């Protein structure tokens, strides 16, 4: 059974299509600085001929490396970050959090199996009235529950919500801190940043994952003729609470529709159980998944619309997103820094500069001049280094055998 066949129908409130465009990221000055740095680097590169052998990277041998590899030393021998107390505290806190929660993966699934067993024992001991045993099991359950980050996140959020409704702000704050500690151990909330996946015949594309509250938003950094860059490719609702606020009089309360556009109306999705072979490959018996919406469009972003989707968490380094009705699933992996730079550069990073039949006149608006200069640089670079297939070797692309991994 493929995932897609496995899916039961779930319905979202699609108020989303309206709100979606407000998530489109703004151009920021940071990106421009980044861009000019890349180009400064490339100007010193005389030519780019020949196949590039794997570089034996040393900074002194830099100029003898083929152009494509010359950028690599930038990532070697970086100085260690200066000591920073704030940072150290954060690292300590993260280590502490990791110690109190079961690690995502089989650790967590085993813990949940144990909790299920104990719950069953508890029910049967309640039925037979063996009281000693009962308190023992209750205690075990209590301890186990405190080690499940997803459960703790959900319960702590609910507690915080409850405390707030009763005006107990101190206690709400404590619950929120507990919630954040648990959240920081959940991989579905640690996916920020750049990912690369193969969009069928469009080839490899880069996306940028950000969060608005507990809604994950994946924006295209490189696009295609259907869904261009800058548009949302998919989003997923990761909020653990299913509070139906559709009849709620106060729309400003937390968890109301306004704060979670992809409001869940159904039970959470069951994890995907992997076959033994797949489990060995991914190092986990099951994959958790979350409801979402995937964007599709006809050429030129016409008739763009969202359809049901699922975000599937594979582990630290991978996830996938499935466009359910069209049975399309894309795997995403982290690009290497070199590949990220290359794709960013080829995409022009920000908006597509205009097409110029002839150079703008000297009196033209400065923005037009800038666009022209940018476009020239982009074209030069497109010629200079095509993104070769080898660049993607670091990314698992999902082979023909995908299907059987998720049986
Ligand atoms: C330490 O790191 C934090 C966040 O990582 C940053 O905001 C702060 O400015 C840094 N402090 C110093 C002294 O570098
Ligand atoms: C990805 O999103 C973050 C957060 O909005 C933003 O700061 C960053 O510049 C984006 N990256 C790219 C390459 O657009």
Q: Which long-range contacts (CB under 8 A, 24 or more apart) does 164-171 make?
A: 164/254, 165/253
CB–CB of 304/18 below 8 Å? no
Give the Å distance between the CA of 30 and the centre of ligand 1. 18
Domain residues of the chain, as ranges? 86-184, 188-242+266-334, 337-401
Confidence (pLDDT) at 246: 40
Give the Å distance between the CA of 83 and the centre of ligand 1. 9
Confidence (pLDDT) at 73: 61
Contact 179 CB / ligand 2 (< 6 Å): no
Confidence (pLDDT) at 364: 77
Confidence (pLDDT) at 375: 67
Contact 87 CB / ligand 1 (< 6 Å): yes
Contact 221 CB / ligand 2 (< 6 Å): yes
Q: Going by CA atoms, what residue is nearest to atom 10 of ligand 2? A: 208
Confidence (pLDDT) at 373: 73
Contact 350 CB / ligand 2 (< 6 Å): no
Q: Where are the alpha helices (DSSP H) in 146-267?
A: 149-165, 169-183
Tens of pLDDT along the chain (407 residues) come to 444 333 322 222 222 222 222 223 333 333 333 332 232 223 333 333 433 333 333 333 344 545 555 555 666 777 777 778 988 898 898 888 888 899 988 999 999 999 999 999 888 888 887 777 788 889 999 999 999 999 999 999 999 999 999 999 999 999 999 999 999 999 999 999 999 999 988 889 999 999 999 999 999 999 889 999 999 999 999 998 754 444 333 333 333 333 444 444 457 888 999 888 888 888 889 999 999 999 999 999 999 999 999 999 987 788 999 999 999 999 999 998 888 888 887 775 444 445 566 677 777 777 777 777 766 665 555 444 444 444 554 444 444 344 333 43
Give the Å distance between the CA of 84 and the centre of ligand 1. 6
Confidence (pLDDT) at 312: 94
Contacts of 321 (CB under 8 A, 6+ apart): 197, 218, 233, 234, 236, 292, 294, 309, 310, 311, 312, 329, 330, 332
The DSSP code sequence of 185-217 is T-GGG---EEEEEE-GGG-EEEEEEEEETTEEE
**CATH architecture of residue range(s) 188-242+266-334:** Beta Barrel (2.40)
245 vs 257: CA distance, rounded Å:
7
Give the Å distance between the CA of 193 and the centre of ligand 2. 7
Contact 346 CB / ligand 2 (< 6 Å): no
Confidence (pLDDT) at 286: 92
Give the Å distance between the CA of 87 and the centre of ligand 1. 7
Contacts of 220 (CB under 8 A, 6+ apart): 205, 206, 207, 208, 227, 228, 229, 230, 231, 232, 233
Contacts of 37 (CB under 8 A, 6+ apart): none
- Which value, to the nearest 10 degrees, does the dihedral of the CA atoms of residues 39, 42, 46, 48 take? -120
Contact 88 CB / ligand 1 (< 6 Å): no
Site to probe by mutation for ligand 2, drawn from 26, 208, 212, 230 as the one with most ligand atoms within 8 Å of Cβ, is 208
Contact 89 CB / ligand 1 (< 6 Å): no
Q: Residue 325 is encoded by which pair of tokens?
A: 């009705």
Site to probe by mutation for ligand 1, drawn from 87, 89, 90, 91 as the one with most ligand atoms within 8 Å of Cβ, is 87
Give the Å distance between the CA of 109 and the centre of ligand 1. 37
Contact 210 CB / ligand 2 (< 6 Å): yes
Q: Where does residue 182 rank: exposed (0-12), middle (13-18), buried (19+ CB within 10 A)?
A: buried
Give the Å distance between the CA of 196 and the centre of ligand 2. 14
CB–CB of 247/13 below 8 Å? no
Confidence (pLDDT) at 41: 29
Contact 184 CB / ligand 2 (< 6 Å): no
Confidence (pLDDT) at 356: 64
Q: Going by CA atoms, what residue is nearest to atom 10 of ligand 1? A: 84
Q: Going by CA atoms, what residue is nearest to atom 6 of ligand 1? A: 86
Q: Which ligand is nearest to the CA of 211?
A: 2
Q: Going by CA atoms, what residue is nearest to atom 11 of ligand 1? A: 84
Q: Residue 189 is encoded by which pair of tokens?
A: 């909330």
Q: Going by CA atoms, what residue is nearest to atom 1 of ligand 2? A: 208
CB–CB of 272/287 below 8 Å? yes
311 vs 216: CA distance, rounded Å:
10
Give the Å distance between the CA of 191 and the centre of ligand 2. 13
Confidence (pLDDT) at 386: 45
Site to probe by mutation for ligand 1, drawn from 84, 85, 94 as the one with most ligand atoms within 8 Å of Cβ, is 84
């Amino acid at each position: 059974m493929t995932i897609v066949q496995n899916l039961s129908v779930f319905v979202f409130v699609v108020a989303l299509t309206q709100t979606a465009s407000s998530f489109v990221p703004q151009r920021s000055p940071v990106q421009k600085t980044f861009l000019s740095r890349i180009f400064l680097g490339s100007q010193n590169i005389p030519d780019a001929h020949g196949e590039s052998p794997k570089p034996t990277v040393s900074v002194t041998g830099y100029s003898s490396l083929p152009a494509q590899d010359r950028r690599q030393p930038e990532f070697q021998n970086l100085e260690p970050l200066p000591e920073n107390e704030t940072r150290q505290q954060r690292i300590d806190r993260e280590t502490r959090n990791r110690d109190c929660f079961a690690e995502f993966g089989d650790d967590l699934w085993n813990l949940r199996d144990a909790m299920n067993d104990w719950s069953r024992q508890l029910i049967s001991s309640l039925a037979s009235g063996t009281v000693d045993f009962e308190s023992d099991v209750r205690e075990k359950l209590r301890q186990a529950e405190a080690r499940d980050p997803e459960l703790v996140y959900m319960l702590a959020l609910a507690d915080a919500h409850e405390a707030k409704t009763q005006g107990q702000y101190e206690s709400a704050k404590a619950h929120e801190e507990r919630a954040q500690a648990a959240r920081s151990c959940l991989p579905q909330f640690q996916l920020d940043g750049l990912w690369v996946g193969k969009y069928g015949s469009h080839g490899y594309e880069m996306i940028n994952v950000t969060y608005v509250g507990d809604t994950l938003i994946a924006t295209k950094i490189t696009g295609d003729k259907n869904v261009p860059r800058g548009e949302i490719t998919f989003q997923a609702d990761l909020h653990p609470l299913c509070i139906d606020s559709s009849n709620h009089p106060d729309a400003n309360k937390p968890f109301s529709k306004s704060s979670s556009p992809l409001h869940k109306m159904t039970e959470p999705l069951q994890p995907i159980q992997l076959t033994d072979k797949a489990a060995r490959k991914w190092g986990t018996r099951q994959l958790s998944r979350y409801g979402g919406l995937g964007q599709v469009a006809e050429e030129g972003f016409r008739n763009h619309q969202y359809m049901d989707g699922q975000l599937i968490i594979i582990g630290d380094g991978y996830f996938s997103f499935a466009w359910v009705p069209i049975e399309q699933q894309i795997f995403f992996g982290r690009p290497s820094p070199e590949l990220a730079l290359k794709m960013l550069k080829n995409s022009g990073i920000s908006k597509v500069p205009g097409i110029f039949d002839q150079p703008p006149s000297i009196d033209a608006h400065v923005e037009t001049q800038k666009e022209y200069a940018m476009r020239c640089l982009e074209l030069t670079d497109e010629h200079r280094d095509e993104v070769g297939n080898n660049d993607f070797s670091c990314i698992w692309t999902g082979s023909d055998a995908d299907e059987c991994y998720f049986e």
